[in-house]
Amino acid sequence: MPAKGNQFRSNSFKGENQPRQGVKADNERATGKRSFKLPRFDLDMENSRAVKIAGLFSLLLSVFFLIAFTSYLFTWQEDQSYISKTNGGWHNLSTGTTIHEISDINDPGIKAQNWLGKLGALLSNQFIYEWFGVASFLFIFIFFVIGYRLLFKARLFSIRKTLAYSVFSIVFISVTIAYVHSFVIEYPHFLEGGFGFWSNRLLAAQIGPAGTGGLLVFLALTMLVIAYNIDFKIPKRKNRPVATVPVDEIAPEPVELIDDELIAPLEWPRGNNNIRETPVNIIEPEPVVHERLQQEPFRPDPLRRPPMEQTPVFNEPVVLRPENTIKHEPEEEDEIPLTIDTNRPLPELSVEQSDNAKQDELLSKFGVYDHKMDLPGYKLPSIDLLENHGSNKISVKPEELEANKNKIVETLNHYNIEIDKIKATIGPTVTLYEIIPAPGVRISKIKNLEDDIALSLAALGIRIIAPMPGKGTIGIEVPNQHPEMVSMRSILETEKYQNTTMDLPIAMGKTISNEVFIADLAKMPHLLVAGATGQGKSVGINTILVSLLYKKHPAELKFVLVDPKKVELTLFRKIERHFLAKLPDDGDAIITDTKKVVNTLNSLCIEMDQRYDLLKDAQVRNLKEYNAKFVNRKISDPEKHRYLPFIVLVIDEFADLMMTAGKEVEMPIARIAQLARAVGIHLVIATQRPSVNIITGTIKANFPSRLAFRVLSKIDSRTILDAGGADQLIGRGDMLFSTGSDLIRLQCAFVDTPEVEAISDFIGNQKGFPSAMYLPEYVGEGEASSTKEYDPDDRDPMFEEAARLIVIHQQGSTSLIQRKMKLGYNRAGRIIDQLEAAGIVGPFEGSKARDVLYPDEYSLERYLETLQKPE
Ligand SMILES: Nc1ncnc2c1ncn2[C@@H]1O[C@H](COP(=O)(O)OP(=O)(O)OP(=O)(O)O)[C@@H](O)[C@H]1O
């Protein structure tokens, strides 16, 4: 049996009614009758007809008032016959209509002049003249807001607030106008209306005109505080930034919407859904909106709308505004403080950039600093420039090994030393025989037999290592009958060298077990090389230089080459513009003159000090960190900084220097050796005679890494290595490398002069820097005054400009002139000399900038004028 029509009506959902209506419609169709039913005036705010009609009426009223009030301003005098109380007032509306008025509609004399007739005139008179004066115009606004809300379901302003503020304003304006007007006229006027006039009179009687004025000001300010919460620092608050943040930052919890919010039409802008901004208090980051929304739990009402899926809206940007723009009225359901301002441009948030931000900006703008940028096409020398010397194969015959073994065992047996085991490791020049003596044999006994074993083996250069560190054996190194040359190429070709991550890798050669040995000069940090003449020292130095040249870009490494013998390092002259550093005034980059060596060493000390200053400024501890920071543009003041290449000072014959210059050389070398490690300055000092007056205690103490070729005496060996053994070497690149703790026997890699020449040519023929790197200027004692004669005719054309630059910056430095005027070091140096001679800057003061003797440009200009005047 079908359910009766309205059986579940009261509690059923609308959706459930549909089928019933459908059934009803079917019935109607079937019977051919249509039943008419009056529309229901329910209280559904959404669809109620009554509400719509009320809205329409309210709007009509606002329009009516607008026309009537406006007309009243112009016609009130003509309409006095109808509207004044004495002439009948409202009675005229019902009783005063004459036949003339109806029949003679165009006669201005007998009808109301208000554009809305008598009603318009009477209403206007009531509101404006009798009651509130011109403030009555606010009723238009009130009716419009209410009507608009009821009819269009759209919210212009809060109705409650509109009513509150409007009513207050009407009363306030009316009384205020009356107050002001009372100083001019003494009878009621339509500007303030009867209410205003009599209220003012009442107040004047009670508290006097002054009191009334004060009260009005107080009320005005109170209202401003209530409405806008003004804090009397309006200019500041006005400029307050408005920031945009995503809503989810301020309202991380899910938002619950009360059902009335669902009923109320959303007041987000129509037509532009792209930008929705919600004013939220910037001071109180709590979700003002959501707080309110959460006051009532969400009650789904299927009769109305399904729960809104509005989350996307809340993912959109929300404008945070100062507090005073938000009106919190949580008790009012329709007071959702979501006012959408789609036209408001998003405020620009100006943020003071920190140093980091600037650096990041630089980095994003220019990328990391490319220190190779000056010579981008530079190619490392090819391995083909090196030759293969020898077969690079070990050619020790088994018979030789067997014979040597027998001789060792025999000799030891001869001295009643029994051996448990013997093992041979074949190296390029020597073979290491490791013996494990029988228990109870004293090691010192074997050690003392060194000469006897050498005699029985009829070989030079036998070295006994007793015990072998970390092995529990005794080692006897016996030279091979046919030593193998270790060519540089065979070392540089190895993966070990190719893949090394060392800062300054030195491919030294091969160990006794035939392994490639590479050491890092940056870690040593300085190297002392000694060896008698003809034992392979110069080849060793070439090996060091070549292994660095095969790894480093000219921007990363500079050599200062000191060659008192004048012939050894000349091969490297061709790489001057790439890899060499020198004093500005030095013609030749390879220093041979002792006096210049002293200046160069002192200049290196200045460079070292300057580098330390740079490191300190960049707040780093060593060159590597500094360069990394510089390259990544992390240094706050990049103008003052530069990429710092390693500097390797190589002195080929130190003994000669010590003999001629002594302390003058020793002191700067000791200073550099002590301090320069962190700033990337490393020393390689070679000497033929490792005597104590050459390698002094001060120098030795600062050179933990030592390389000994064959020396002539045990004493020399002790001087260089603090141990014997170097005198037992066999020469031709056989060497001992001491790192302080370890002593390693190596066969130095061999690189021949033509190979070095080819490498120098290869590098030298590539595009290089304009000149060698200039070291800081150093003027030795006694040299200072010699060049400082001022000669006006010999003045550089840029002399005056340089003088101004120096005075403006108050910094007497050559590098400033160089940098700002884009001059070479030589010319800048000459100009600074001329400035000194002219008395504009003070004398050279080592690493400090020279004093500038003119405090300002004006005094300088006057001085320059005197210089220009012929005597
Ligand atoms: N690593 C090596 N492998 C093979 N032979 C070498 C090696 N080093 C040097 N020699 C040989 O020793 C000779 C002398 O070497 P080098 O010129 O380097 O000696 P030096 O110590 O510099 O002598 P001086 O101090 O007189 O200049 C070279 O000509 C070469 O034949």
* Number of neighbours of residue 284 by Cβ within 10 angstroms: 13
Which candidate, 648, 646, 638, 635, places its Cα nearest to that of 686?
A: 648
Amino acid found at 225: V
Can you tell me the mean pLDDT for 427-449? Answer: 83
Ranking 208-212, 235-239, 374-378, 431-435 by mean pLDDT, the lowest is: 235-239
Ranking 127-141, 654-668, 833-847 by mean pLDDT, the lowest is: 833-847
Q: Which ligand 1 atom is the nearest neighbour of the CA of 750?
A: 1
Give yes or no for residue 856 having a pLDDT over 80: yes
pLDDT, tens digit (0-9, with 9 covering 90-100), for 587-633:
788 888 887 888 889 889 988 988 898 888 888 888 888 888 888 87
Q: Whose CA is nearest to atom 22 of ligand 1?
A: 538
Q: What residues contact residue 458 under an 8 Å CB cut-off, 6+ apart?
A: none
Beta partners for residue 812, in sequence order:
850
- Ligand 1 midpoint to CA 535 (Å): 5
Beta strand extents in 293-375 (DSSP E only): 317-321
Ranking 255-264, 555-564, 769-778, 785-794 by mean pLDDT, the lowest is: 255-264
Mutation probe of ligand 1 site: the residue of 388, 491, 535, 716 with most atoms within 8 A of C-beta: 535
Beta partners for residue 505, in sequence order:
520
Q: Are the CB atoms for 580 and 558 separated by under 8 Å? A: yes
- Ligand 1 midpoint to CA 665 (Å): 27
- Work out the mean pLDDT of the chain and round it to a whole number: 75
What is the distance, to the nearest Å, from the Cα of residue 347 to the centroid of all Cα atoms in its chain?
24
- Ligand 1 midpoint to CA 772 (Å): 29
764 is in an annotated binding site: no
Q: Which ligand 1 atom is the nearest neighbour of the CA of 568?
A: 27
Q: Which ligand 1 atom is the nearest neighbour of the CA of 483?
A: 4
H helices of 95-238, in order, are 99-103, 117-124, 137-152, 159-181, 193-228, 234-238
Q: Is the ipTM of this complex over 0.95?
A: yes
Beta strand extents in 326-480 (DSSP E only): 419-426, 430-437, 463-465, 474-479
70 is in an annotated binding site: no
Q: Are the CB atoms for 291 and 256 separated by under 8 Å? A: no
537 is in an annotated binding site: yes
- Ligand 1 midpoint to CA 836 (Å): 49
Please give the backbone phi and psi of residue 495, each rounded to the nearest 5 degrees, phi first.
Answer: -60, -35
Can you tell me the mean pLDDT for 669-691? Answer: 88
Give yes or no for residue 43 having a pLDDT over 80: no
pLDDT, tens digit (0-9, with 9 covering 90-100), for 48-60:
788 888 888 988 8
Can you tell me the mean pLDDT for 647-658? Answer: 89
- Ligand 1 midpoint to CA 499 (Å): 28
Angle at 43 between CA 38 and CA 46, to 5 degrees: 100
Pocket of ligand 1 (CB under 6 A): 485, 531, 533-539, 688, 732-733, 748, 750
Q: Whose CA is nearest to atom 18 of ligand 1?
A: 536
- Ligand 1 midpoint to CA 465 (Å): 26
**Domains along the chain with CATH numbers:** 1-32 (no CATH), 49-228 (no CATH), 237-325 (no CATH), 398-479 (3.30.980.40), 503-711+739-764 (3.40.50.300), 779-868 (1.10.10.10)
Which sign does the torsion angle of CA 685, 690, 691, 692 carry?
positive
- Ligand 1 midpoint to CA 485 (Å): 12
Which candidate, 313, 171, 153, places its Cα nearest to that of 246?
A: 313
Most confident of 94-108, 225-239, 245-259, 692-706: 692-706
Can you tell me the mean pLDDT for 59-64? Answer: 89
Q: Which ligand 1 atom is the nearest neighbour of the CA of 748?
A: 1
Q: Whose CA is nearest to atom 10 of ligand 1?
A: 732
Q: Whose CA is nearest to atom 15 of ligand 1?
A: 536
Angle (deg, nearest 10), helices 814-821 and 799-809: 110
pLDDT of residue 270: 38
Secondary structure letter of residue 306 according to DSSP: P
Q: 602 is written with which tokens?
A: 């002192």
Instruction: Tell me the pairing of strands 743-748 and 505-511.
Output: antiparallel
Distance in angstroms (rounded) separating the CA atoms of residues 197 and 671: 99
Mutation probe of ligand 1 site: the residue of 480, 539, 716 with most atoms within 8 A of C-beta: 539
Mutation probe of ligand 1 site: the residue of 538, 652, 653, 737 with most atoms within 8 A of C-beta: 538
Reported confidence tier of residue 47, pLDDT bands at 50, 70, 90: low
Q: Which ligand 1 atom is the nearest neighbour of the CA of 749?
A: 1
- Ligand 1 midpoint to CA 652 (Å): 13
Distance in angstroms (rounded) separating the CA atoms of residues 174 and 194: 9
Reported confidence tier of residue 735, pLDDT bands at 50, 70, 90: very high
Amino acid found at 429: T
Distance in angstroms (rounded) separating the CA atoms of residues 723 and 743: 9
538 is in an annotated binding site: yes
Which sign does the torsion angle of CA 79, 85, 91, 97 carry?
negative
- C-alpha to C-alpha distances, 341 to 703, 730, 770, nearest whole angstrom: 75, 92, 63
Q: Whose CA is nearest to atom 6 of ligand 1?
A: 732
Q: Which ligand 1 atom is the nearest neighbour of the CA of 541?
A: 18
- Ligand 1 midpoint to CA 330 (Å): 97
Q: Which ligand 1 atom is the nearest neighbour of the CA of 532?
A: 21
427 is in an annotated binding site: no
Half-sphere exposure of 75 (CA within 13 A, CB side): 25
133 is in an annotated binding site: no
Q: Whose CA is nearest to atom 4 of ligand 1?
A: 732
| High-pLDDT (> 90) share of the chain, % | 11
Q: Which ligand 1 atom is the nearest neighbour of the CA of 486?
A: 3
- Ligand 1 midpoint to CA 536 (Å): 3
Give yes or no for residue 333 having a pLDDT over 50: no
680 is in an annotated binding site: no
Q: Which ligand 1 atom is the nearest neighbour of the CA of 542?
A: 18
Beta partners for residue 436, in sequence order:
421
- Ligand 1 midpoint to CA 492 (Å): 19
Q: Whose CA is nearest to atom 11 of ligand 1?
A: 732
Distance in angstroms (rounded) separating the CA atoms of residues 449 and 451: 6
pLDDT of residue 274: 41
This prediction has a pTM of: 0.54
